[in-house]
Structure 1
Amino acid sequence: MSEFEWLKRAHAYDEADAEDLEGRVIAALRTVYDPEIPVNIYDLGLVYALDLDEDAGRVDLRMTLTAPGCPVAQTFPGTVEEAVRSVRGVDDVHVELVWEPPWSRDRMSDAARLQLGML
């Protein structure tokens, strides 16, 4: 099974429960995990902005990584793009990797902090 098919299956249940495009996109983002921290990128706070055009099926996403020297900086935006592109109703995805403001632990959700034993 390809990574793309695995991603589709991994978030199929969550996506089915989400009635709007934003909910389906967030469900897809929660299937993508940081390669160094066992938490999904959405709850880790790596997603800075999510702009949706439902009529055009377009998603623009601004995100960062936990560190600028992250070894997957070149390939990870493509992984995120593929996950979002698999969402029903999405035809076009643009992922922009940004470094300002720098990521900090303050951006993490309570669920992520709990999962990492920080709460």
Structure 2
Amino acid sequence: MDGYTPEPDVLVVDAGALGPGDAFVDQEHVLFVAESVSRSTVGQDYGRKLNQYAARGIPTYLIVDVLTGERVLYQVPKGDEYTSAVPYRFGEEIRFSLAGVEVTVRTDFKKIG
């Protein structure tokens, strides 16, 4: 790596990989990262972070792009690229497996209460 350490908006790691006060986790324990795109981060989220997460072998990367209303689920890293990229529109459910657990991410808004 080039010394760059991306900091994801959302991070899911193996149970027990982080202890109280830990700020960093070894990349082999990272199962999922997600980024919420803003005008100031769009280049990083779709560029450098995408390549860095793949190069680190992070199995699943979700980009939530509020600027375009799209979400992209990247999986199956190979080198510094993901071999699978599935786009989703706002309102579609995103389903994937995370360490053998089926995960559903809702992308619509529902008023609570």
Q: TM-score, normalised by structure 1?
A: 0.30
Q: Which has the higher strand share?
A: 2
Q: Which has the higher helix share?
A: 1
Q: TM-score, normalised by structure 2?
A: 0.31
